[in-house]
Chains A and B, each alone.
Chain A
Amino acid sequence: MTWQDTDVPALRRKAERRHKMGRFGTYTVAILFAFLAAFPFSWALISMFKQSNDLYVKDNNPFWFNEPPTLEHLRLLFLDTNYLTFIRNTLVVGLAVTLITLALALPVAYALARLRLRWGERMGIAIFLVYLIPPTLLFIPMTRVINYLGLQESLWALILVYPTITIPISAWLLMGFFKGIPMDLEEQAMVDGHSRIGAIGRVVLPLMFPGIIAVVVFAFTLSAHEFIYALAFNKSSAVKTIATGVPTELVRGDVFFWQSLQAAVILIAVPIALIFNAFLDRFITGFTMGAVKG
């Protein structure tokens, strides 16, 4: 073997340089994305404590305090608006929607993943197609339906309708999770004397825990985000969720209570982001199973 024609130290240096540039590139890209993603929030974080005579001055530094910070706007948010009510409503709706979604999507996902049905594949596509029909198309007639059922101006309107959005996606996600669990487990349980349902409940569902968590997170996120139906069905403040309540309460005509608005955003986004971040690795594994095997 001849190394005579190659300058090994030079190769080594080149490799080292490449490695360093790679690290530099990684950090640069990471910092760039972090900055672009978060700078509106950084501004929001400062503004929520800014006095109005500081905020509404064109040439003042928006990223620092020119007048001392104040808790005035938080007070307004919590005491002068129904913010806490909005949060409570969002949580209630989230919980109810989660339960309904799990009750309806789990069986569907199981059936499509496990039971060999002739129309299994087509059903899967049909479910996905349902997801394609946007709320912006359905909300007008849906409002009629809600009014007809007498559910307008109540949380029940949302609890009834949100699962139409969560079920298709959850079914698809859960299908992936089910496919990742070997068949032998249920068969073993059935050989041991349980009915199929007993087998599922005892053996399979506990293993579906990550998938169920994903559905829970998804349902709560939707309840906090969803705008159109919430706006269309509930106009009274007592039954609004965060997504509609905060903008409507804190934007009166042309007057924006910016600082309180930013406070609302930060107070909601930060905890959810922390939770998501903690569960991120679990989601990714589940998603891999759903997408790769689906």
Chain B
Amino acid sequence: MTTTTAAGKRYLSDNPRFLAAVFMSPAVIYIIALVGFPFVLAIIYSFTNISTGNPELNFVGLETFRRVLADPVFREALWNTFLFAVIANLLVVVLATALAEVLVKDFKGKWLVRFLVLLPWVAPVSLATITWLWTLDSIFSPIDWVLRELGLITENMYWLGRPGSAMGSVIAVQVWRIVPLAAVIVMAGLIAIPSEINDAVAVDGAGSWRKRFQVTIPLLAPIIAVAVLFGVILTISDMSVVYVLTRGGPTNSTQVLSTWAFIKGIEGGALGQGAAVALFLLPVLIGITAVVLRLARRREVL
């Protein structure tokens, strides 16, 4: 089925179905080849005992999974992945909303503040995390130095050496780097709220807290959901922060699925187990995504 333009020419490329096929196939083929195929391969690996020492695909049924699940570190990693993602992103939502609210206002030095606030997101993750490695160093931490100078502590805090503070540090670094991105997304949402609504709130006499919680945030709900989604994906699929900061230590207390998969699969050579561990990322990701989307849909506006 071809269509005719006013000039009387007929173009096969004007047929929407044909055009759609042509437009979409390169990307679709590419993704199937380079995402679908390795994905399937990863699943296959997890049913084998493939390793760097033994690179053959020997099917062992659920043996690899059993091994992986039996390992207590795995359970720790699974729990941590979930925990870090939830706590970090709750913090991100609150902080990013507060920051976005400030950044849409006009004040002196706004350009400088915007610049500084973008830095954590813009610096490559691995490098920024290395900076944090020093900032939290057990001997030389500048934070400890300030605290010592202020007389608040006498001994250093060993941020990364103790399980509790190590987990806190990982979460803090994740929050630190994601807030700029989330804030920009929320800013977009704030600007999209019609200015007459803000005028109506002023005329109706609502103070800033009432306005924030009864008007602004409900209207921002879909955008906040988008920001949370990005944040969750970034947190869960990230490997660099944990790996650089703690390698999953001390004693695997900050281990997450990504790092554990890397340590098991690449460093340890057990590729099959590494793939199996990594597969558990999917249910966690899909699970949290589904929850976020459902929450957002309930508050859906217009």
Do A and B touch each other in the complex, judged by CB within 8 A?
A: yes
Q: Which residues of A contact B (CB under 8 A)?
A: 22-23, 26-27, 29-31, 33-34, 36-38, 40-41, 43-44, 47, 55-56, 58-59, 61-63, 103-105, 107-108, 110-112, 115-117, 123, 130-138, 140-142, 144-145, 160-161, 163-164, 167-168, 171, 190-197, 221, 224-225, 227-228, 232, 242-244, 246-247, 251, 256, 258, 261-262, 264-265, 268-270, 272-274, 276-277, 280, 283-285, 287-288, 291-292
Q: Which residue of chain A has its CB nearest to the CB of B140?
A: A58
Can you add 15 more A-B contacts, CB < 8 Å, to A59-B148, A228-B262?
A27-B107, A33-B117, A41-B116, A130-B31, A137-B237, A137-B261, A138-B39, A145-B34, A221-B122, A243-B126, A247-B127, A258-B134, A272-B123, A277-B115, A288-B189
Contact between chains at A246 and B127 (CB < 8 Å): yes
Q: Which residue of chain B has its CB nearest to the CB of A106?
A: B23
B203 at the A interface (CB under 8 A): no
User: Which of chain B's residues have a CB closer than 8 A to the CB of A55?
Assistant: 140
CB distance from A288 to the nearest CB of B (A): 5
Contact between chains at B37 and A133 (CB < 8 Å): no
A98 to B238: give the CA distance in the assembly, Å.
Answer: 22
Q: Which residues of B contact A (CB under 8 A)?
A: 5-7, 9, 11, 13-14, 16, 19-20, 22-24, 26-28, 30-31, 34-35, 37-39, 41-42, 45, 95, 98-99, 102-103, 105, 107, 109-120, 122-128, 130-135, 139-140, 142, 145, 148, 176, 179-180, 184-185, 187-189, 191-192, 208, 222-223, 226, 233, 236-240, 244, 257-258, 261-262, 265-266, 271, 274-275, 278-279, 281-282, 285-286, 289
Contact between chains at B34 and A160 (CB < 8 Å): yes
Contact between chains at B105 and A135 (CB < 8 Å): no
User: Which of chain B's residues have a CB closer than 8 A to the CB of A112?
Assistant: 24
Across the A-B interface, the 5 shortest Cβ-Cβ residue pairs: A134-B237, A107-B23, A193-B7, A141-B41, A269-B123
Q: Which residue of chain A has its CB nearest to the CB of B21?
A: A111
User: Which of chain B's residues have a CB closer than 8 A to the CB of A242?
Assistant: 124, 127
CB distance from B151 to the nearest CB of A (A): 14
CB distance from A18 to the nearest CB of B (A): 8
CB distance from A37 to the nearest CB of B (A): 5
User: Which of chain A's residues have a CB closer than 8 A to the CB of B34?
Assistant: 142, 145, 160-161, 163-164
A110 to B27: give the CA distance in the assembly, Å.
Answer: 12
CB distance from B25 to the nearest CB of A (A): 9
Contact between chains at A145 and B188 (CB < 8 Å): no
Chain A interface helix/strand/loop/mixed: helix
User: Which of chain B's residues have a CB closer than 8 A to the CB of A107?
Assistant: 22-24, 26-27
Give 8 A-B contacts (CB < 8 Å), ordered by A residue. A26-B102, A41-B116, A132-B233, A134-B258, A224-B124, A261-B127, A277-B114, A283-B188
Contact between chains at A196 and B281 (CB < 8 Å): no
Given contacts A30-B107, A136-B261, A264-B127, contact A196 B114 (CB under 8 A): no
A133 to B285: give the CA distance in the assembly, Å.
Answer: 9
CB distance from B191 to the nearest CB of A (A): 6
Q: Which residue of chain A has its CB nearest to the CB of B271?
A: A140
Given contacts A136-B261, A193-B7, contact A111 B142 (CB under 8 A): no
Contact between chains at A194 and B5 (CB < 8 Å): yes
Q: Which residue of chain B has its CB nearest to the CB of A132?
A: B285
User: Which of chain A's residues have a CB closer than 8 A to the CB of B102?
Assistant: 26, 29-30, 33
Output the residue of B113, B132, B145, B179 with the most chain A CB within 10 A. Answer: B113
User: Which of chain B's residues have a CB closer than 8 A to the CB of A160?
Assistant: 34
User: Which of chain B's residues have a CB closer than 8 A to the CB of A277?
Assistant: 111, 114-115, 118
Contact between chains at B239 and A44 (CB < 8 Å): no
CB distance from B64 to the nearest CB of A (A): 13
Q: Which residue of chain B has its CB nearest to the CB of A35?
A: B116
CB distance from B146 to the nearest CB of A (A): 8
User: Which of chain B's residues have a CB closer than 8 A to the CB of A190?
Assistant: 5-6, 14
A273 to B94: give the CA distance in the assembly, Å.
Answer: 23
Identify which of B140, B222, B275 contacts A141 (C-beta below 8 A).
Answer: B275
Q: Which residue of chain A has its CB nearest to the CB of B149?
A: A61
A192 to B239: give the CA distance in the assembly, Å.
Answer: 53
CB distance from A105 to the nearest CB of B (A): 6
A251 to B24: give the CA distance in the assembly, Å.
Answer: 44
Q: Which residue of chain B has its CB nearest to the CB of A100?
A: B30
Identify which of A31, A47, A243 contacts B124 (C-beta below 8 A).
Answer: A243
CB distance from A103 to the nearest CB of B (A): 7
